[in-house]
Each structure stands twice: as structure tokens, then as C-alpha cells.
């Protein structure tokens, strides 16, 4: 299988006005329709030049297959006859290349009007598109859906019509692609992408002739649920993405925690990713390039990361809860400096930190570095991040793994929280428990085990509870949650075979639990929602994790997968 370098974001090429989107039959799969549309430009055919007037060439082609406008044929001139070496019987005539023509208009009875692109043509010359394999240079937009690309690529390859050639390119400018194709000896260039238009995912193929960089076709198909794509409806998310195909992917160095914010005040959201020790910041605008790296000391372990412009200077701060030597909480804050660096602006903060909406939360780490005392709404005062007003939270709720929700936006705020075992609990305004999940959504991946300082006391383990994110929808507010499915249900701690994403909505009497994504192999480490997209970060390639688990191999690096959602 060809190697794919999947990154995110790329510039889509300009569509020339002379190129129309090629339609395909509605009774076929979109991927197959796109493949057949490409094949239509390379149908083996032969014919004869019937007349030439300046640059206009009239040809008559054999067979009953329609040749599309902008398809190109080669003109051959008949040369000297050649004979059988023994019988001296005439076998045929030699041919030599005379020129190239491009179909402009279709007539009746196999008649076509063409334009001369190179060389020359005369009445009686032969025209042909040979049945031998066409050399096609295949390029993929780095933000494309790799699963669709692979399927489309294999469809072309299995047709037997093409010898597919590939080469790395940092640019998708037509001239550069065409030059690469010429260097490879390819006749045509194909650029594959999967842009989202009007909240619907599409498959887009652009075709160029390598000899002069002219785009001769653009083929576009809107994808639907039959191949795993969601079709947004009237509600928040109207279908389950059961087939697990993401709308796009990022391939990053490594990471298990994710947050997003405008770090350098450029109007764009950057990705902030922690692998538990180092923090990397990626630019979506620049093809997911790593812009900054903040290396952690060997003694530190990150428990959470969040992003918020708390000091209102236009540069979103990065709040990192850090555990030192597995003993004490020493959180810190990073911020971009206009000189071009990201650096620590506050260190040794003895609080757990978390961002909820547009508020910073803080909780004391206590003497034994476990959650101690109330959760405070943080304030920024005199250049310091300080605990402000304490929150009134139900017993057992700590800074992590809870969210407030006004389900019908009626002014009544409920609180939904995880417990340490991954069960969810819902509390009303008075702090009364009114619902629980009845099943675990998976214990957090981030656990801390430490030995108590008091002799005779056993070791204890505590967890950093998973995220819950509240988002506005067409019917009020809902909560997004990731559920982890264990590999072996009866053996806790053996790991997770797959993950699911659910939307929760309380109607006043019962909890509606709606599946959003199901059957994602592997374990989602963290997630984030920005605008109309949900981002999921997984260490390793989720589509290969189960296979690698069986073989005993695990891929390095991490992937960020995103799906479009419809928000209010």
C-alpha cells in the first residue's frame, strides 16, 4: 500500500472558468462515479482526420463511446510501408508522431471538432488514444480524508488503465505539479481533496495536462452516509458516523492532551498539544506546522492543559497543571511574546487549573497534593492569577470532569460531573442528585499514584477526570462526552478497544443519550470543540491500533481527527 503523509490544511487550486464540474450517474457510489468520470477522459479510441482549417481539426472517431470535451488525442502521420521479411507481403505502414489535438465539440456519427495543441495535422492523418496504460501523476491535498483517498486511488489502480506515479510536493500550484508530472514522464496530473462545502463533505478531483498545465476537468461528488459521512439535518447532528471516517486529520509529533486558542493574536486558532512533558503549538494556517516547542523538565508531568485570554491582552495564555516528581503541584502559565517566542510568565502555582467556558478555575492541591478545599473562579489581579469566588459544588465534585448546563436555556443551571470511576451524575440547582449514568464511560487515562507521608497509611490513587463540554444547540444546551469501551469488559485496566462520542440532553424527566460517533478503534485521550468542529486526539493511528495490538506493535506519534457538527 502506498505511503500517505496525512497532515492538515492546504490551499485549494483555482478553478478555471472554462472547466465545468463533471456530472456522474446518480445510481452509483460517489467514489465509483468520480473514478469513472476520470476514466472517461482516457477511453482508448482511434480515428481519422477529415479536414483541417487553421487550428481547427475535424476528426471522425470509431466506436460509439462519447469522448468528453477537453480530452486529448495524438496525431500520427503515415510513413513508409513495411513488409514481411519472407513473403514480402505488405504488413502496414510506419507511423510517426505529428501533433496533439484537444476535443472541443461533439458532432453526429462520430464526428468531433478539435483544436490543435501542438505540432500539425493534415487530412488523412490518424488520431489515437492508445490502449496502453496512461501515466498519471497522483497528488493528494494534505488535509484530505485518507480513507477516501485510498479507496479512490485503489479504484483507479485496479481499473488497469493507469500507471500511477507519486512524488512529494510542498506546493499545490498547478505549474509546480505539472513540472513534477513532466519529470515523472506523466501525461496528466490528478489532485485529490475532500473540502467541506455548506457543512457537507465533498470529494474533489482536479485534472491537468502536464504538457501545458491546462486544467481539463473538475469532478466533485457530495458524500453521504452510505460511505460513512454525516449529512447534517435540522437537528444538531442528524446521523451517527458509524463508519468512523473522519472529515479530516492532523498528523502530529506526539500528544495526549489538546486545547485551542489564538496564541499569537493573528485571528486564527492554534492547537496546543501536550504529551505529558513537552508542549507543542501547531498552526492550522500553515499546514499544521509546529510553530513552538516548550520542553518540560524530566521531573514534571502535565495533568491538564487549557487555553484562555485571561489577562485580556489579545494573546491567549496556556494554563498547565504540572505535577513535579509525583509529589507536588507546580502549575505554570505560558504566553506568546511579540518577539516570537512562547515562554513561561508564571510558575510554581500551587493550584490545579482548569478552564470552563470563559472562566479559569483553581483548586488548592493541599498538603498531600490531592484536591483540597473549594473550587474557585480564578481572577487576574495585579499581574497574578489568584483564586476568587468559591463555587458552590456538590460533595465529591472537584475541579476536573464537570460542566454546568442550562438544558432549555431557561435560566436553570444543572451540573453534570464524572466520578473517579467514569460514572456520570447530574445535580439540580439545589445540589440534589437527580440522575446517574448507571454505567461507566471509562476511567481517566491520567492517574496519580503516590505513597502517603504518614507511616502505616496505604498508597492512594486519584484521577484527573475526563472533559465534559457544553455546547449550544437547536434545542438549548447539550453536553458532549467520550465513552471508552474496554477491550475485555470483565478485566478492568486492560485498556480500551474503541471509543464513542455521545450528546446528552435532559428533557426535565429523563436523559436523552444520542450517539454522535461510534466504533472508533483505540482510545480517545482528549477532545475539544471549536466552532462547528469536534477534535479528537489519539496516540497512534486509531485505524491501525487494533491491528498493531495483535501484532505487538504500536505506532508512534498522534493523530487529531475532526468532524463537522451543526451548532446553533
- Write a three-state SS string for 298-367: CCEEEEEEEEECCCCCCCCEEEEEEEECCCEECEEEEEEECCCEEEEEEEEECEEEEEECCEEEEEECCC
Highest mean pLDDT among 227-241, 307-321, 446-460: 307-321
- Sorted by sequence, the CB contacts under 8 Å of residue 110 that are 6+ apart come out as 47, 60, 61, 62, 63, 64
Confidence of residue 246 (pLDDT cuts 50, 70, 90): low
> Which pLDDT score is estimated for 305?
98
CA distance 316 to 262: 6
And the C-alpha cell for 414?
444543572
DSSP E strands in 14-156: the ranges are 45-53, 56-61, 72-83, 90-106, 111-119, 126-129, 134-140
Q: Examine the pLDDT at 541 and tell me if it is beyond 70.
A: no
The helix (run of H) or strand (run of E) holding residue 215 is strand 215-222
> How large is the average pLDDT for residues 192-201?
83
In sequence order, what are the residues at sequence separation of 6 or more whose Cβ sits closer than 8 angstroms to the Cβ of residue 383?
none
Give mean pLDDT, residues 450-458: 56
Q: Would the pLDDT of 450 be above 70?
A: no
- Under 8 Å CB-to-CB from 256, ≥6 apart: which residues? 274, 275, 276, 445, 525, 526, 537, 539, 558
| Type and span of the H or E element at 370 | none
First to last CA, the chain: 42
Predicted confidence (pLDDT) per residue in 65-99, tens digit: 899 999 999 999 987 888 778 888 877 777 889 99
| Lookup: cell for 305 | 492543559
The residue ranking higher by pLDDT, 226 or 511, is 511
pLDDT at 472 over 80: yes
Q: Quick one: pLDDT at residue 20?
A: 36
Candidate from 146-150, 314-318, 457-461, 523-527 with smallest mean pLDDT = 457-461
| Angstrom distance (rounded) from CA 193 to CA 11 | 10
What is the Cα–Cα distance from 451 to 458, expressed in whole angstroms? Answer: 7
* Cell 456530472 -> residue: 23
Read off the C-alpha cell for 147.
Answer: 480513507
The mean pLDDT of 295-323, rounded to a whole number, is: 96
- Report residue 249 as a C-alpha cell: 486529520
Which among 474, 468, 485 has a CA at the least distance from the CA of 528? 468
pTM of the full predicted structure?
A: 0.59
398 has a pLDDT exceeding 90 = yes
Q: Which three cell numbers stand for residue 262?
A: 489564538
Q: Which residues contact 568 (CB under 8 A, 6 or more apart)?
A: 472, 473, 474
How far is residue 231's CA from residue 564's CA, in Å, rounded to a whole number? 10
Say if residue 435's pLDDT is above 90: yes
Mean pLDDT score of the chain: 83
Residue 284 clears pLDDT 70, i.e. is over it: yes
Coil, strand or helix at 152: helix
> What confidence tens digit (pLDDT) does each residue in 408-432 have?
988 899 999 999 999 999 999 999 9
At 143, the pLDDT band (50, 70, 90 cuts) reads confident
Can you list the domains of the chain with their CATH numbers?
A: 31-129 (2.40.10.170), 134-222 (3.40.50.10610), 248-564 (2.120.10)
CA distances from 407 to 428, 429, 507, 516 (A): 11, 12, 8, 18
For 168, other C-beta atoms within 10 Å of its C-beta total: 7
Q: Where are the beta strands (DSSP E) in 372-525?
A: 372-381, 384-390, 402-405, 414-418, 424-427, 433-436, 447-450, 460-463, 469-473, 476-486, 496-506, 511-521
pLDDT tens digits, one per residue of 497-539: 788 899 999 999 999 999 888 777 677 889 999 877 888 898 7
**What CA–CA distances, in Å, run from 192 to 140, 461, 473?**
5, 49, 33
- Kindly report, residue by residue over 479-500, the tens digit of the pLDDT: 999 999 886 554 445 567 788 8
Amino acid at each position: 500500500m502506498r505511503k500517505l503523509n496525512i497532515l492538515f490544511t492546504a490551499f485549494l487550486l483555482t478553478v478555471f472558468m472554462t472547466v465545468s464540474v463533471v456530472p456522474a450517474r446518480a445510481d452509483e457510489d460517489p467514489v465509483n462515479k468520480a473514478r469513472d468520470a476520470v476514466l472517461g477522459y482516457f477511453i482508448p479510441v482511434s480515428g481519422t482526420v477529415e479536414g483541417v482549417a487553421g487550428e481547427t481539426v475535424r476528426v471522425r472517431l470509431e466506436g460509439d463511446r462519447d469522448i468528453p470535451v477537453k480530452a486529448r488525442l495524438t496525431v500520427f502521420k503515415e510513413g513508409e510501408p513495411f513488409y514481411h521479411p519472407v513473403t514480402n507481403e505488405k504488413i502496414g505502414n510506419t507511423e510517426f508522431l505529428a501533433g496533439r489535438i484537444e476535443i472541443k465539440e461533439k458532432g453526429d456519427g462520430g464526428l468531433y471538432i478539435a483544436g490543435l495543441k501542438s505540432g500539425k495535422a493534415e487530412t488523412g492523418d490518424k488520431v489515437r488514444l492508445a490502449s496502453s496504460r496512461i501515466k498519471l501523476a497522483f497528488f493528494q491535498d494534505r488535509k484530505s480524508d485518507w480513507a477516501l483517498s485510498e479507496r479512490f486511488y485503489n479504484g483507479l489502480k485496479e481499473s488497469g488503465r493507469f500507471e500511477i506515479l507519486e512524488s512529494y510536493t510542498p506546493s499545490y500550484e498547478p505549474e509546480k505539479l505539472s513540472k513534477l508530472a513532466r519529470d515523472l514522464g506523466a501525461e496528466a496530473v490528478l489532485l485529490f481533496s475532500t473540502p467541506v462545502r455548506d457543512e457537507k463533505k465533498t470529494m474533489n478531483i482536479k485534472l491537468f495536462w502536464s504538457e501545458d498545465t491546462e486544467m481539463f476537468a473538475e469532478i466533485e461528488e457530495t458524500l453521504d452516509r452510505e460511505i460513512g459521512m454525516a449529512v447534517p439535518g435540522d437537528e444538531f447532528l442528524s446521523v451517527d458516523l458509524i463508519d468512523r471516517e473522519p472529515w479530516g486529520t492532523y498528523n502530529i509529533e506526539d500528544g495526549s492532551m489538546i486545547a485551542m486558542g489564538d496564541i499569537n493574536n493573528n485571528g486564527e486558532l492554534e492547537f496546543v498539544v501536550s504529551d505529558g512533558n513537552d508542549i507543542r503549538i501547531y498552526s492550522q494556517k500553515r499546514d499544521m506546522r509546529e510553530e513552538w516547542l516548550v520542553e518540560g523538565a524530566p521531573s514534571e508531568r502535565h495533568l491538564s492543559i487549557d487555553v484562555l485570554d485571561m489577562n485580556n491582552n489579545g494573546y491567549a495564555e496556556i494554563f498547565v497543571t504540572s505535577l513535579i516528581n509525583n509529589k507536588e503541584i507546580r502549575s505554570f502559565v505560558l504566553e506568546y511574546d511579540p518577539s516570537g517566542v512562547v515562554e513561561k510568565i508564571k510558575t510554581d502555582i500551587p493550584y490545579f487549573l482548569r478552564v470552563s467556558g470563559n472562566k479559569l478555575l483553581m483548586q488548592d492541591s493541599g498538603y498531600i497534593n490531592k484536591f483540597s478545599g473549594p473550587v474557585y473562579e480564578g481572577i487576574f489581579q495585579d499581574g497574578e492569577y489568584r483564586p476568587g469566588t468559591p463555587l458552590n459544588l456538590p460533595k465529591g465534585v472537584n475541579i476536573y470532569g464537570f460542566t454546568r448546563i442550562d438544558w432549555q436555556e431557561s435560566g436553570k443551571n444543572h451540573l453534570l460531573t464524572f466520578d473517579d470511576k467514569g460514572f456520570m451524575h447530574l445535580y439540580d440547582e439545589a445540589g440534589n442528585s437527580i440522575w446517574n449514568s448507571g454505567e461507566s464511560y471509562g476511567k481517566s487515562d491520567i492517574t496519580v499514584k503516590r505513597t502517603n507521608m504518614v507511616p502505616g497509611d496505604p498508597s492512594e490513587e486519584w484521577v484527573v477526570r475526563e472533559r465534559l463540554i457544553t455546547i449550544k444547540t437547536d434545542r438549548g444546551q447539550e453536553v458532549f462526552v467520550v465513552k471508552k469501551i474496554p477491550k475485555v469488559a470483565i478485566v478492568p485496566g486492560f485498556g480500551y478497544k474503541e471509543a464513542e462520542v455521545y450528546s446528552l440532553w435532559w428533557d426535565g424527566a429523563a436523559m436523552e443519550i444520542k450517539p454522535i460517533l461510534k466504533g472508533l478503534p483505540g482510545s480517545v485521550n482528549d477532545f475539544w470543540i471549536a466552532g462547528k468542529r469536534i477534535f479528537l486526539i489519539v496516540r497512534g493511528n486509531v485505524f491501525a491500533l487494533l491491528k498493531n495490538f495483535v501484532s505487538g506493535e504500536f505506532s508512534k506519534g498522534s493523530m487529531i481527527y475532526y468532524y463537522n457538527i451543526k451548532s446553533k
